Each structure stands twice: as C-alpha cells, then as structure tokens.
Amino acid sequence: MIVNKRALGRTGIEVSEVSFGGVEIGIPYGIGVESRADMLDQAEAVKLLHAALDSGINFFDTARLYGQSEEIMGKAFKDRRDSVVICTKCKHLRTDTKQLPAIGSLRKIVDNSLKESLSALQTEYVDVYMIHDPNPEVIENQEIAEVFSEYRKKGLTRSIGVSTYTVEETRRAIESGIWDVIQLPFNLMDQRQGRLFPLARQRGVGVVVRSTLLKGVLTDKGRNLHPELKEVQQHRDLYNELLSDDVPRLSDLATKFVLSHNEVSSVLIGIDRMEYLQDALAVANGRYLDQKTLARAKELRYPDPEFLDLRRWDKMGWLR
C-alpha cells in the first residue's frame, strides 16, 4: 500500500501522512483501557510496528513518559533504523510546583532523559527530539533552547521541537525561530490551533497533529460517553450529516478533516490493534474533503473548546 509523504517543515525530512502514535503500546490510554491487561503484550506490539512500517508508515511518535513505548520501538526497529523517522520527547522539565529547576539541574534532566531514550530506542540519534508539555516560560528559556540546539548540532537529533497544548504556547514556539517541529492538538471539535497553520508554513515549521480522534470520542468508542459529557455526545452526532459512502465513519471524517489542511505534515493516530492500522491506511488515501464539506466541518466546531480538556476528563474518570 502506498502512503503519501509530506515535508516536515524545513527539516528536510519526509514523513508519512499518518504517523504511528506510540502512547497506546506503552501505557493504558484511551476510552475503555484501564490497565495493562487491556493492552498488547510486547511481542504483539512489535509485530504491529513492523506491519505499520511494511505498510508504508515511516513516522513513529513516542516519549520518555510513555511507559515501555520507547523500549518496544527499540526492539522493533533496531535492524530497520534507516527506514523509520522517530520522534520522542524528554521528561517533563517542571517540578510538581510547576517551577523550573536550577540551571545545572535542568541540563542534567534533559541530558539524562535523552540518554535514556537513545538506550531504550537502541539508536544513536532520533529524528525529532521534543520538549514535552512546556509552558511559555519553558519554550522561551534560552538555556533549554541552547541544549536542544546543541543536540541537533552534534547529530543526536536531526531536528528539535515542542509538544504544545495551548494556542499561545504554539504561537510563541513558532515565532521563536528555534523549534523545527510543533506537535499540537487539533480536531473536528477543537479547531483553535488551526489559526496558526499559515504562520507555521510561513516560518517553515513542521506541524504534527495529535488528538485527531479526541482520545476515541470521534470514533465508534465515543457513541456512549459519560453522562457528564452529554453535550459533547450530542454535538458529536451533528457530524453525521457529513458522512457519505466515501466517508462512512466519524473516525474517517475526523482524520480526513485534519489531512485536508495542507500545512499539516502528519496526523498522529493511536494504533494498538491491527484493525486500527488498516483503518488508518485506508483513510490516508490522498482523497480528502472537498471545499464545501471542509467549510461545513469548520462551522461545526464545538462552541466551548475550553471544555474539551482531555486531561481533566481523564482525572475525573469520564473516559472509562
């Protein structure tokens, strides 16, 4: 199967339009996944990673905080390293009080995190190395920028980036001129980050989109949400008017919606079942939404995007 590739901003790296989100193979994550008993074992996960690569996906996303995800990818790709583009993220840099550590301690945290990632991934370099969940203070911290830029200069990573949550974080990261790649949340319901796509393209910053399926809400798993998400459930049903023979499922619509934005380099899809891999490959077929459907999908964004806080939903137990 042919999977189209797109340029990852100014990095010179080309990535598959669909990328393999590695959180689900590392830790319990998503609707209905409560423990490791609900997850693939390592051998099955390695087999799934191989199937993804053999099917044309070359971009794989993971993080130091995704449990065994890096280790599993290391086992899967140690003999296929030249065929894959690996993105990983360092440990969180802020303390429990949300403060940055002292200068010397900060560098030690990043250094140790990268060493651990390279060891787990069984590689001498990564293709994209990111800050995980930074705030504006972290994004604009000169010492952090210098450390990451040094890794790039030494060849420990081919490019550097940040994984953001808010529009303000993304804007500052793009405008800094330092970061090559931004990973951000964007989907049918929460379209706020889309206003920055033209700026990212202008500055040569690669855009990788996560939360495309809103942690399963925009899939068949989201048909019976927690009562506290009643309004989200009702809004979710509005998208049925955009389904068709060519786009028969909500998850197809959600993925094609994001890929209809030319500024997006790749869409992260959480894949922990062979059927989900096949679904992702079938959707990323180069045929996306026409202008009329795209315009209507934009109109149907959720009216209160601040409520779409997945971390809060998870903490409240609304995703179980």
Catalytic residues: 66
Please enumerate in sequence order all residues whose Cβ is within 8 A of that of 35, keeping only pairs 6 or more positions apart, or say none.
28
Burial track 179-206 (b if 16+ CB lie within 10 A, e otherwise): bbbbbbbbbbbbbbbbebbeebbebebb
Q: Which run of H or of E encompasses 257?
A: helix 250-259
Contact 3, 56 (CB under 8 A): yes
Half-sphere exposure of 289 (CA within 13 A, CB side): 24
Angstrom distance (rounded) from CA 14 to CA 95: 35
Helices (H), 78-166: 103-121, 136-139, 142-154
Contact 313, 189 (CB under 8 A): no
Specify the DSSP class assigned to residue 281: H
What are 263's strand-pairing partners?
none
Residue with tokens 């840099």: 93
Q: Cα separations (Å) of 94 from 101, 132, 170, 221?
A: 7, 10, 18, 34
